[in-house]
Amino acid sequence: MRAKISIWVLCLFLAGCSTVKKHPHFDKRAKEVQTVSVMAPDVQITRIVFKGDNEILFDDGKAASGTILKALETELARRGYDVKPVSTTAGETIAADHEAAFELSKLKERYAALLNDLQKKKGKDFRLTLGSDINRFADMTGADILVFATGSGYVKSGGEIAKGIAKSALIAAASLGTVIYIEQDFGGQLFVSVVDGDNGDILWHNFANPALAYNMTKEKVVRSMAQQVIASYPGRMRFEEVAVIQAAPAVSAEEADIGRAKINLPLETVKMTAKTGAVVTEKTLDLTEAVLKGTLFLGKTVPRTTKSLVQLGATRSSEGDRAHAIEAYEEALKLDRQNPAVHLLLADLYLQEGNLNKAEKYAKKSIQLDGANPAAHGILSRIFLKKGLHAEAEKEMNLFQAPAPVQPTV
């Protein structure tokens, strides 16, 4: 019994722990990344049968591969990356080119081999590379980074499940109910790595915890696995940049026109959230910046508003001057105590400072003012994780991963 409790504690611990590993130059390189392509993942699902000659579920494997591909693309686009789909562009070129197709197979094999090395690496930092052969595929799609994924899973046949139940019943009967033995009917794992398109270095790596049971024949489960694994990959825009837009009032049509005129941005490409602006695209950011710049260009005096103070704070923060950034945000808060984004900015900065109590206070206030903002849940999850509150962290992480609100077009 004690052993079973230990396993549960271990599972909970693993579920709460970060499994992310990074290349030492990840932070530097990640800032330059604009475009990303997800390579079709290799997924193998096996049905374990009573007779022993297990069956490979090819169709389920293909379906899972498609789901993972789509989920990763969607999540990365959600984070502001320009996703170049391999399936519609370079995919055909690769399939037609005999050597390119083999090179890709080889790269995937090498990636699978590197995963073993990666699992052996202690600590969160590592240096592993797929080499310059990656260039061919990064060039085909025009991507800065390529995402590689590989997964495997199993499900048991009816006979095998029946055997498990019978075994469980026999053990329970023999031990007079003191031992409850339960066999898992399915399981799965998924590994995802982000690879530098320039030199093939693996920049970032994460995996879906195999200690948790995943049925990879279920589309919803597979999608959730992929979302979970990529969830901790940073968005294209830095947190401060998102918050600048959050802090700003909704852009009026007139302001948008000014901005558009300044940078020649076609209206139809602009998408943004009208209210919270929690999720923004590259174009939205350009537009907002253009609006701000446009205002300055038109010679208007920039008043000491929440917006200008937040911008100042963001600049200080990007320069690494957290003390002055906090000062600017505190000032902004004095002008607008009900601004959820400013609370969130302060939560993030205090988190970086290691002041977890203050960070928690601001994050919770931000959620109280605007519970629909997933970023606030993401920050709160990280705070709880640092505090060792794994169950709470997981709860907040789930809220962070909830689907993004529909974004109306301006």
Partner 1 sequence: MPKGAPLQFFTALFLCVMFAGGCGTSRKEIVPLGQTGLSAKEEKERREIEAMTRQIQADMESRRVFYEEEELTAYLHEVARPFLDGLNLKEEEKANFKIRVLRDPTVNASALITGDIHFNSGILSRLQNEDQLAFVLGHEISHVYHQDVLYYTLNLQRKTVGFKIMDLLLAPPAAFVGASGLSDLALGLFYAASIQGYGRSEEAFADKFALEQMTKTGHDPAASISFFDILLAEKTRYKRGIEIFFLSSHPSNTARKQQASEWLKSNPAKIKIEEGLEKTPSDRFQALTAGVRLQDVKLNLDFRRYFHALELVEKIRGIKKDETMLYFYEGEIYRRLPEERDKIKEELSDKEWEKIKKVEKEKQDKEWRDKAFEAYQKALVLDVAHAETYKGLGEWYLQEQKLTEAAGHFNKYLELKPEAVDRRSVLRHLRDIEELTQKEAVT
* Binding site residues, partner 1, CB under 8 A: 50-53, 55-56, 58, 95, 98-99, 101-102, 104-106, 109-110, 113, 117, 131-136, 138-139, 163, 166-167, 170-171, 173-175, 179, 181, 197-200
Taking the C-alpha atoms of residue 132 and residue 99, their distance in angstroms, rounded to an integer, is: 16
| CA dihedral angle for residue 390, residue 395, residue 397, residue 403, rounded to 10 degrees | 170
- Which is nearer to partner 1, 119 or 252 (by Cβ)? 119
Tallying the residues shown for the chain, one arrives at: 410
Instruction: Name the minimum Å distance from CB 163 to partner 1.
Output: 6
- Which is nearer to partner 1, 9 or 95 (by Cβ)? 95
Instruction: Name the minimum Å distance from CB 94 to partner 1.
Output: 10
Instruction: Name the minimum Å distance from CB 1 to partner 1.
Output: 9
Instruction: Name the minimum Å distance from CB 139 to partner 1.
Output: 6
Of 399, 401, 384, the C-alpha closest to 18 is: 384
**Degrees to nearest 5, angle at CA 230 with 228 and 235:** 125
Instruction: Name the minimum Å distance from CB 105 to partner 1.
Output: 4
- Which is nearer to partner 1, 119 or 175 (by Cβ)? 175
Q: Which helix (H) or strand (E) holds 324?
A: helix 322-335
Bridge partners, 195 (sequence order): 146, 202
Taking the C-alpha atoms of residue 138 and residue 129, their distance in angstroms, rounded to an integer, is: 15
Instruction: Name the minimum Å distance from CB 40 to partner 1.
Output: 11
By CB atoms closer than 10 A (0-12, 13-18, 19+), residue 301 is exposed
Instruction: Name the minimum Å distance from CB 47 to partner 1.
Output: 11
- Which is nearer to partner 1, 109 or 125 (by Cβ)? 109
267 DSSP assignment: G
CB atoms within 10 A of CB 140: 19
Instruction: Work out the angle between the directed axes of helices 253-263 and 282-297 (0-180°, nearest 10).
Output: 90
- Which is nearer to partner 1, 138 or 256 (by Cβ)? 138
Bridge partners, 38 (sequence order): 147
By CB atoms closer than 10 A (0-12, 13-18, 19+), residue 154 is buried
Phi, psi of 229 (to 5 degrees): -65, -40
Instruction: Name the minimum Å distance from CB 67 to partner 1.
Output: 19
By CB atoms closer than 10 A (0-12, 13-18, 19+), residue 367 is buried
- Which is nearer to partner 1, 156 or 382 (by Cβ)? 156
- Which is nearer to partner 1, 109 or 330 (by Cβ)? 109
- Which is nearer to partner 1, 83 or 104 (by Cβ)? 104
Q: Both tokens of residue 69?
A: 């591909």
